[in-house]
Amino acid sequence: MTLPTTIPGRAGELLASLGDRAVLCDLYDEVGSEVYHDMAGRDPQEVRELLGLVRATPGPVLDLAAGSGRLTMPLLALGREVTALDLSEHMLALLRTRLGLAPAALRERCSVVRGDMSTFALGRRFPVIVLGTTSVSLLDEPGRAGLYEAVRAHLEPGGRFLLTTVAVDPAYTGPAEMEEKYTTDSGRAYRIFEYWATGDAARTVTIFPADAGAATGPVEVCTTRVGVLPADRLEAELAAAGFTVRGRTALPAVSRRLGDVLLETEVRS
Protein backbone atom coordinates (compact mmCIF):
# COMPACT_ATOMS: atom_id res chain seq x y z
CA MET A 1 0.00 0.00 0.00
CA THR A 2 1.16 3.55 -0.71
CA LEU A 3 -0.08 6.86 0.64
CA PRO A 4 -1.75 8.88 -2.17
CA THR A 5 -0.42 12.35 -2.91
CA THR A 6 -3.97 13.63 -3.50
CA ILE A 7 -7.39 12.35 -2.41
CA PRO A 8 -10.00 12.53 -5.21
CA GLY A 9 -13.76 13.01 -5.03
CA ARG A 10 -15.94 13.68 -2.00
CA ALA A 11 -13.30 12.14 0.25
CA GLY A 12 -10.89 14.85 -0.85
CA GLU A 13 -13.51 17.52 -0.20
CA LEU A 14 -14.18 16.18 3.30
CA LEU A 15 -10.45 16.03 3.98
CA ALA A 16 -10.03 19.64 2.84
CA SER A 17 -12.92 20.75 5.06
CA LEU A 18 -11.07 19.40 8.09
CA GLY A 19 -8.12 21.69 7.40
CA ASP A 20 -5.26 21.42 9.83
CA ARG A 21 -7.28 19.11 12.06
CA ALA A 22 -6.81 16.25 9.57
CA VAL A 23 -4.05 13.80 10.44
CA LEU A 24 -3.38 11.73 7.31
CA CYS A 25 -2.22 8.15 7.99
CA ASP A 26 -1.32 5.14 5.88
CA LEU A 27 -3.44 2.06 6.44
CA TYR A 28 -0.37 0.07 7.50
CA ASP A 29 1.23 2.59 9.87
CA GLU A 30 0.75 2.65 13.64
CA VAL A 31 -2.60 4.44 13.47
CA GLY A 32 -3.86 2.81 10.28
CA SER A 33 -3.10 -0.72 11.41
CA GLU A 34 -5.45 -0.25 14.37
CA VAL A 35 -8.24 0.83 12.00
CA TYR A 36 -7.46 -2.02 9.60
CA HIS A 37 -7.60 -4.49 12.48
CA ASP A 38 -10.86 -3.02 13.78
CA MET A 39 -12.48 -3.46 10.35
CA ALA A 40 -11.13 -6.99 9.76
CA GLY A 41 -14.56 -8.60 10.15
CA ARG A 42 -16.16 -6.88 7.16
CA ASP A 43 -15.97 -9.97 4.93
CA PRO A 44 -16.39 -13.19 6.96
CA GLN A 45 -17.36 -15.18 3.85
CA GLU A 46 -13.78 -15.10 2.53
CA VAL A 47 -12.51 -16.52 5.83
CA ARG A 48 -15.10 -19.32 5.76
CA GLU A 49 -14.29 -20.28 2.17
CA LEU A 50 -10.54 -20.28 2.77
CA LEU A 51 -10.89 -22.39 5.91
CA GLY A 52 -13.04 -24.86 3.99
CA LEU A 53 -10.28 -25.37 1.43
CA VAL A 54 -7.56 -25.56 4.07
CA ARG A 55 -9.46 -28.36 5.87
CA ALA A 56 -9.05 -30.54 2.78
CA THR A 57 -5.23 -30.46 3.06
CA PRO A 58 -3.70 -31.44 6.40
CA GLY A 59 -0.48 -30.01 7.77
CA PRO A 60 1.14 -26.64 8.52
CA VAL A 61 -0.05 -23.44 6.83
CA LEU A 62 1.89 -20.38 5.66
CA ASP A 63 -0.25 -17.26 5.99
CA LEU A 64 1.17 -14.49 3.78
CA ALA A 65 0.36 -10.82 4.46
CA ALA A 66 -1.04 -12.11 7.75
CA GLY A 67 -1.59 -8.66 9.24
CA SER A 68 -3.14 -8.72 12.70
CA GLY A 69 -4.29 -12.31 12.30
CA ARG A 70 -7.58 -12.17 10.41
CA LEU A 71 -6.80 -15.60 8.95
CA THR A 72 -4.04 -16.66 11.33
CA MET A 73 -6.28 -16.96 14.38
CA PRO A 74 -9.00 -19.06 12.66
CA LEU A 75 -6.29 -21.27 11.13
CA LEU A 76 -4.83 -21.85 14.57
CA ALA A 77 -8.32 -22.63 15.85
CA LEU A 78 -8.44 -25.47 13.28
CA GLY A 79 -5.54 -27.03 15.16
CA ARG A 80 -2.95 -26.15 12.51
CA GLU A 81 0.62 -25.00 12.89
CA VAL A 82 0.74 -21.56 11.27
CA THR A 83 3.61 -19.37 10.10
CA ALA A 84 2.32 -15.78 9.87
CA LEU A 85 4.38 -13.49 7.63
CA ASP A 86 3.85 -9.76 7.19
CA LEU A 87 6.01 -6.75 6.31
CA SER A 88 4.36 -4.32 8.73
CA GLU A 89 5.76 -4.42 12.24
CA HIS A 90 2.69 -2.48 13.42
CA MET A 91 0.37 -5.21 12.15
CA LEU A 92 2.53 -7.96 13.61
CA ALA A 93 2.53 -6.19 16.97
CA LEU A 94 -1.27 -6.46 16.98
CA LEU A 95 -1.01 -10.16 16.10
CA ARG A 96 1.49 -10.76 18.90
CA THR A 97 -0.89 -9.05 21.33
CA ARG A 98 -3.74 -11.33 20.23
CA LEU A 99 -1.51 -14.38 20.55
CA GLY A 100 -0.47 -13.28 24.02
CA LEU A 101 -4.12 -13.43 25.08
CA ALA A 102 -4.73 -16.83 23.48
CA PRO A 103 -4.37 -20.23 25.20
CA ALA A 104 -0.79 -21.48 25.31
CA ALA A 105 -1.65 -24.56 23.22
CA LEU A 106 -2.79 -22.27 20.40
CA ARG A 107 -0.07 -19.65 20.82
CA GLU A 108 2.72 -22.22 20.67
CA ARG A 109 1.62 -23.38 17.22
CA CYS A 110 2.22 -19.95 15.66
CA SER A 111 5.49 -18.57 14.30
CA VAL A 112 5.43 -14.83 13.55
CA VAL A 113 7.85 -13.66 10.84
CA ARG A 114 8.49 -10.15 9.58
CA GLY A 115 9.14 -10.44 5.88
CA ASP A 116 8.26 -9.33 2.36
CA MET A 117 5.86 -11.71 0.63
CA SER A 118 7.65 -11.06 -2.69
CA THR A 119 11.11 -12.14 -1.47
CA PHE A 120 10.71 -14.43 1.54
CA ALA A 121 12.93 -17.47 2.21
CA LEU A 122 11.91 -19.64 5.18
CA GLY A 123 13.93 -22.78 4.48
CA ARG A 124 10.93 -25.13 4.58
CA ARG A 125 7.89 -26.17 2.57
CA PHE A 126 4.18 -26.12 3.34
CA PRO A 127 1.21 -28.14 2.06
CA VAL A 128 -0.92 -24.98 2.08
CA ILE A 129 -0.03 -21.32 1.49
CA VAL A 130 -2.77 -18.69 1.80
CA LEU A 131 -2.90 -15.05 0.74
CA GLY A 132 -6.23 -13.45 1.60
CA THR A 133 -7.90 -10.02 1.54
CA THR A 134 -6.92 -9.53 -2.14
CA SER A 135 -3.45 -8.70 -0.79
CA VAL A 136 -1.81 -9.89 -4.01
CA SER A 137 -2.92 -6.54 -5.47
CA LEU A 138 -0.55 -4.74 -3.06
CA LEU A 139 2.33 -5.87 -5.25
CA ASP A 140 3.36 -4.45 -8.61
CA GLU A 141 4.12 -6.80 -11.51
CA PRO A 142 7.77 -7.49 -10.53
CA GLY A 143 6.65 -8.00 -6.93
CA ARG A 144 4.04 -10.54 -8.01
CA ALA A 145 6.65 -12.39 -10.07
CA GLY A 146 8.78 -12.60 -6.93
CA LEU A 147 5.77 -13.84 -4.95
CA TYR A 148 5.06 -16.64 -7.41
CA GLU A 149 8.72 -17.72 -7.37
CA ALA A 150 8.84 -17.70 -3.56
CA VAL A 151 5.56 -19.65 -3.29
CA ARG A 152 6.82 -22.31 -5.71
CA ALA A 153 9.96 -22.68 -3.59
CA HIS A 154 7.91 -23.14 -0.39
CA LEU A 155 5.01 -25.29 -1.59
CA GLU A 156 5.14 -29.06 -1.08
CA PRO A 157 4.50 -31.24 -4.15
CA GLY A 158 0.75 -31.37 -4.65
CA GLY A 159 0.26 -28.51 -2.19
CA ARG A 160 -2.25 -25.70 -2.60
CA PHE A 161 -1.75 -21.96 -3.00
CA LEU A 162 -5.01 -20.20 -2.08
CA LEU A 163 -5.42 -16.51 -2.85
CA THR A 164 -8.11 -13.92 -3.46
CA THR A 165 -8.38 -11.05 -5.92
CA VAL A 166 -11.11 -8.91 -7.49
CA ALA A 167 -13.52 -9.50 -10.34
CA VAL A 168 -14.58 -6.35 -12.18
CA ASP A 169 -18.19 -6.00 -13.33
CA PRO A 170 -17.83 -4.93 -17.01
CA ALA A 171 -21.43 -3.73 -17.09
CA TYR A 172 -20.96 -1.15 -14.33
CA THR A 173 -21.58 2.42 -15.56
CA GLY A 174 -22.08 4.22 -12.23
CA PRO A 175 -19.96 6.85 -10.46
CA ALA A 176 -16.23 6.46 -9.89
CA GLU A 177 -16.62 7.01 -6.16
CA MET A 178 -18.60 4.98 -3.65
CA GLU A 179 -19.21 5.55 0.04
CA GLU A 180 -20.02 2.96 2.68
CA LYS A 181 -20.86 3.47 6.35
CA TYR A 182 -19.69 0.66 8.58
CA THR A 183 -19.86 0.01 12.32
CA THR A 184 -17.43 -2.60 13.64
CA ASP A 185 -17.95 -5.12 16.43
CA SER A 186 -16.07 -2.72 18.72
CA GLY A 187 -18.76 -0.08 18.15
CA ARG A 188 -16.56 2.30 16.17
CA ALA A 189 -18.24 3.77 13.09
CA TYR A 190 -16.50 4.75 9.85
CA ARG A 191 -17.17 6.40 6.51
CA ILE A 192 -15.28 4.50 3.81
CA PHE A 193 -14.71 6.10 0.41
CA GLU A 194 -13.46 4.12 -2.57
CA TYR A 195 -12.51 6.01 -5.74
CA TRP A 196 -11.83 3.98 -8.86
CA ALA A 197 -12.35 4.99 -12.47
CA THR A 198 -12.91 1.94 -14.66
CA GLY A 199 -9.63 0.84 -16.20
CA ASP A 200 -7.37 2.53 -13.66
CA ALA A 201 -4.57 0.35 -12.31
CA ALA A 202 -5.34 1.28 -8.69
CA ARG A 203 -8.10 2.61 -6.47
CA THR A 204 -7.94 5.10 -3.62
CA VAL A 205 -9.49 4.02 -0.32
CA THR A 206 -10.00 6.65 2.38
CA ILE A 207 -11.46 5.99 5.83
CA PHE A 208 -12.84 8.69 8.13
CA PRO A 209 -14.38 8.39 11.57
CA ALA A 210 -18.15 8.60 11.05
CA ASP A 211 -18.30 11.78 13.13
CA ALA A 212 -15.39 13.50 11.34
CA GLY A 213 -17.49 16.45 10.24
CA ALA A 214 -18.63 17.24 13.77
CA ALA A 215 -15.28 16.68 15.48
CA THR A 216 -13.49 19.66 17.01
CA GLY A 217 -10.03 18.18 17.64
CA PRO A 218 -7.58 16.24 15.45
CA VAL A 219 -9.18 13.72 13.07
CA GLU A 220 -7.19 10.67 11.99
CA VAL A 221 -7.90 9.85 8.34
CA CYS A 222 -6.52 6.62 6.87
CA THR A 223 -5.92 6.33 3.15
CA THR A 224 -4.08 4.19 0.65
CA ARG A 225 -3.74 3.39 -3.04
CA VAL A 226 -4.25 -0.29 -3.74
CA GLY A 227 -3.98 -2.01 -7.09
CA VAL A 228 -6.88 -3.51 -9.02
CA LEU A 229 -5.82 -6.92 -10.30
CA PRO A 230 -8.71 -8.61 -12.14
CA ALA A 231 -9.03 -12.36 -11.71
CA ASP A 232 -8.52 -13.12 -15.40
CA ARG A 233 -5.19 -11.29 -15.41
CA LEU A 234 -4.10 -12.98 -12.19
CA GLU A 235 -4.97 -16.41 -13.60
CA ALA A 236 -2.89 -15.65 -16.71
CA GLU A 237 0.08 -14.57 -14.57
CA LEU A 238 -0.20 -17.69 -12.42
CA ALA A 239 -0.33 -19.92 -15.50
CA ALA A 240 2.79 -18.24 -16.92
CA ALA A 241 4.51 -18.74 -13.54
CA GLY A 242 3.85 -22.49 -13.57
CA PHE A 243 0.59 -22.75 -11.58
CA THR A 244 -2.63 -24.53 -12.49
CA VAL A 245 -5.94 -23.12 -11.24
CA ARG A 246 -7.97 -25.97 -9.74
CA GLY A 247 -10.91 -23.93 -8.52
CA ARG A 248 -12.45 -20.47 -8.73
CA THR A 249 -15.06 -19.36 -6.19
CA ALA A 250 -16.98 -16.09 -6.42
CA LEU A 251 -17.31 -14.33 -3.07
CA PRO A 252 -19.87 -11.67 -2.10
CA ALA A 253 -19.28 -8.37 -3.84
CA VAL A 254 -17.27 -5.79 -1.93
CA SER A 255 -19.05 -3.08 -3.92
CA ARG A 256 -21.49 -2.81 -6.81
CA ARG A 257 -18.64 -3.04 -9.32
CA LEU A 258 -15.94 -5.14 -7.63
CA GLY A 259 -16.45 -8.67 -6.37
CA ASP A 260 -13.90 -10.97 -4.74
CA VAL A 261 -12.70 -14.24 -6.26
CA LEU A 262 -10.95 -17.09 -4.44
CA LEU A 263 -8.50 -19.11 -6.53
CA GLU A 264 -7.28 -22.58 -5.58
CA THR A 265 -4.02 -23.32 -7.37
CA GLU A 266 -1.13 -25.77 -7.38
CA VAL A 267 2.27 -25.90 -9.04
CA ARG A 268 2.02 -27.54 -12.46
CA SER A 269 3.89 -30.84 -12.58
Note the pTM of the prediction, 2 decimals. 0.90
pLDDT tens digits along 60-77: 999 999 999 999 999 999
Res 217 pLDDT > 50: yes
Give the pLDDT mean for 13-25.
92
Mean pLDDT of the chain: 92
- Give the C-alpha separation, 72 to 99, whole Å: 10
Is the pLDDT score of 3 beyond 60? no
CA distance 11 to 106: 41
Range from 31-45, 48-62, 183-197, 217-231 that averages highest in pLDDT: 48-62
Q: Find out whether 139 and 168 touch, Cβ atoms under 8 Å.
A: no
What is the three-class DSSP state of 52?
Answer: helix
Span 27-40, pLDDT tens digits = 888 898 899 888 87
Tell whether the model's pLDDT for residue 1 goes beyond 80.
Answer: no
